[in-house]
Structure 1
Amino acid sequence: DEAHPDVDRAGRVLRRAVEQGATVVTSSTATSDRVREILAVEPVTIRLGPPLTPATTVTDRPPSVESVLETTPFVLSIGTAERRKNLPRLIDAFARLGTEHESVRLVLAGRDGDDAGAVARALARLDPAIRHRVHRMTTVDDAAKHWLLHHATALAYPSLDEGFGFPILEAQLAGTPVVASSAGSIPEIGGSAVLLSLPSDVDALAANLYWVLTSESQRDRLIRLGRRNVERFSWDSTARDLRTLYHRLAEEA
């Protein structure tokens, strides 16, 4: 029910491919578990590598980023405004966070998607003083994305489901703490370097964000663990595992 029609159609194509003998490769154990449950086949789990983004600090603020973000803490969300991203609940959590922290801002970076209407309604519910601290960026180029990731106080990633979760690793590469939901593959990809809460628990999400904003020791811990977590992912390993799979399938054929 939460899927975009394009994704729903892709699911039907996938089912037909499986019926014809296709091997299913997933990028996380969590997704493999769902494949077994829904498609009744044994998938192959091959993790992806880390995002191909610079790990160095970005200092020059791109023109598309508002200057106020240089001097104030902000929570960053990156991704299309689609239902799976759970942005209305993030906005509700920011309503609570904004009353406890008088200067924090929220940046919603990503183009409009199938949840744009719900996002707009959630923003309209905010107290005007807090609504003023929300920044909506529907056009985000690479320079803006890199700057935001390196300067955010935290990345918020409260998704209802994720098959992998590149933004988690992008934030960890940039030295930015991650506050996320416990849905899908997020706990598996983020490891112990992510503060988790149920995707439906607005209060817990707000509390975790407040913790990162106000505790330097917590921030330092998450940054340290995040950089260590990214080391688990390697495109060389991905390539080797895919090569092994292709050789096995060729031999079996």
Structure 2
Amino acid sequence: MVIAINTKALLPGKMEGYGYYIEEIFSRIALNHPEHQFYFLFDRPFDQRFIYAANIQPVIIKPQARFPLAWDIWYNLMLPRVLRKIKAEVFVSTDGFCSLRTKVPQCLVVHDLAFLHHPEFISKSHRNYYLKNTGKFLKKSKVIATVSEYSKQDIVEKFKIDPAKIHVTYNAPGSLFQQLSYDERELVKEKYSAGCEYFIYTGSIHPRKNPINLLKAFSRFKKRQQSSMKLVFAGRLAWKTDEFTKLLSSFRFRNDVILTGYLEKNELAKLVASAYALVYPSFLEGFGVPPLEALQCGVPAIVSNNSAMPEVGGDAYLYIDPENPDDIAEKLMLIYKDETLRSRLIENGKRRVQLFNWDESAKKMWGCIELAASAE
């Protein structure tokens, strides 16, 4: 079988959620199925390290598809030509977009419908493109894969899609995220936080991730506890961050807030494993990988009580109302003061994280590919 994969999110030095998902899932699938031919489709020069197996052939399709007009050209004009040329029998699109101009069966991966729930956090042109086309993409695809039961039900309710067409392939924590020894943690703290304990947020920084309320909550925590605790933001400044940077510039506890910028995964894993707790106050997540990675490191996670996060975390997370900085601050203080609670969350986390692994998710995705390829 000839299988084409949309791998545009495999970006060296810029790898984030979609990119890691592609890497974990499709490296396994290609290695586990050497009898099949895989084409990885990029929109710019690629890094050879993303060609994980001998049965993967990279193809660059122009133009770089990063805005609506380019998306339309890439998916509906250039992509169909390439699929015909390579005689693709199925196309897997990993970013929620698919081609409306090809007869090749398509498996569409949709992580969430954030553009419907929080349209204020994206540009008008992007929002309009999603509103105009997402329903068409979902109907055009033979099979839909998503990352949680929450996202599955959201797709069913918002777009009236048959639930039988949608398959849940959970995310999982990366293997680099592991517990560190006491001495290793101390070295990391010396490097990043002057030897002090710290709360950590990981991921790109933009309004949907709620960095403003996290800063406000940390301010309340510092005023009440007067500890040396730091707050680390480990991720790049993405979009619509003017309000965040403006608040941070005049923030009373600015010297206790650390911005690392983008970090490669091996360094990020050490930083997470050395934290006192991870804080993830996102307004919406289709899954939410960073808190699960913290659990695998033996670090408790404070997360929002919305969308897919209770489904993923169960009794292993400490939940917050992301709209309420006072509630976030209360939970920061609670985990800071209550060692029994912190220890219980860590133990619960060790059990919870066992429910998610990339090998199982790759098997389920392979099932989705086979279904799409055989669909009439």
TM-score by shorter chain over 0.5: yes
Are the aligned partners of 1:57 and 1:174 in contact in 2 as well (CA < 8 Å)?
yes
Structure 1: distance between partners of 2:263 and 2:190? 8
In the alignment, structure 1 residue 215 sits paired with structure 2 residue 338 = yes
Partner AA of 1:35 in structure 2: I
Q: Partner residue of 2:233? A: 108
Structure 1: distance between partners of 2:138 and 2:323? 33
The DSSP-based 3-state class of the residue aligned with 1:121 is helix
Structure 2: distance between partners of 1:56 and 1:143? 13
Alignment counterpart, residue 92 of structure 1, candidates 216, 238, 255: 216
Distance 1:47 1:136, change over 3 A: same
In the alignment, structure 1 residue 75 sits paired with structure 2 residue 199 = yes
Alignment counterpart, residue 146 of structure 2, candidates 26, 30, 34: 26
Deviates more, 1:59-68 or 1:203-212: 59-68
Higher gyration radius (CA): 2
- Residue 64 (structure 1) shift: 10
Give structure 1 stretches of 5+ with no counterpart. none
Are the aligned partners of 1:123 and 1:131 in contact in 2 as well (CA < 8 Å)?
yes
What pairs with 1:134-213 in structure 2 (closer than 5 Å)? 134-213=257-336
Are the aligned partners of 1:93 and 1:202 in contact in 2 as well (CA < 8 Å)?
yes
Matched residues, number: 249
- Residue 48 (structure 1) shift: 2.5
Distance 1:241 1:147, change over 3 A: closer
Structure 1: distance between partners of 2:322 and 2:137? 32
Distance 1:45 1:67, change over 3 A: closer
Partner AA of 1:24 in structure 2: I
- Residue 251 (structure 1) shift: 4.3
Partner AA of 1:16 in structure 2: K
Alignment counterpart, residue 365 of structure 2, candidates 217, 236, 242: 242
Partner AA of 1:183 in structure 2: N
Distance 1:54 1:168, change over 3 A: closer
What pairs with 1:43-58 in structure 2 (closer than 5 Å)? 43-57=166-180
The DSSP-based 3-state class of the residue aligned with 1:119 is helix
The DSSP-based 3-state class of the residue aligned with 1:140 is coil
Distance 1:46 1:139, change over 3 A: closer
What pairs with 1:4-15 in structure 2 (closer than 5 Å)? 4-5=122-123, 8=127, 9=129, 12-15=132-135
In the alignment, structure 1 residue 66 sits paired with structure 2 residue 66 = no
Partner AA of 2:324 in structure 1: D
Structure 2: distance between partners of 1:164 and 1:234? 13
Give the TM-score taking structure 1 as reference length.
0.88
The DSSP-based 3-state class of the residue aligned with 2:331 is helix
Partner AA of 1:110 in structure 2: G
What RMSD, in angstroms, separates the aligned Cα atoms of the two structures?
2.4
- Residue 184 (structure 1) shift: 1.5
Structure 1: distance between partners of 2:297 and 2:214? 22
In the alignment, structure 1 residue 131 sits paired with structure 2 residue 257 = no
Are the aligned partners of 1:92 and 1:122 in contact in 2 as well (CA < 8 Å)?
no
The DSSP-based 3-state class of the residue aligned with 2:335 is helix
Distance 1:20 1:37, change over 3 A: same
- Residue 131 (structure 1) shift: 2.0
Distance 1:109 1:64, change over 3 A: farther
The DSSP-based 3-state class of the residue aligned with 1:108 is strand
Q: How big is each residue's C-alpha offset from its partner over 1:119-148, in whole Å with a ceiling of 9 and x where there is no partner?
A: 113324532xx2221111113233431221
Give the TM-score taking structure 2 as reference length.
0.61
- The answer to which structure, 1 or 2, has the higher relative contact order (CA under 8 A, 6+ apart) is 1
The DSSP-based 3-state class of the residue aligned with 2:355 is coil
Q: Partner residue of 2:137? A: 17
The DSSP-based 3-state class of the residue aligned with 1:111 is coil
Structure 2: distance between partners of 1:229 and 1:217? 18
Structure 1: distance between partners of 2:318 and 2:288? 15
Distance 1:73 1:7, change over 3 A: farther
Are the aligned partners of 1:53 and 1:170 in contact in 2 as well (CA < 8 Å)?
no
Partner AA of 1:191 in structure 2: G
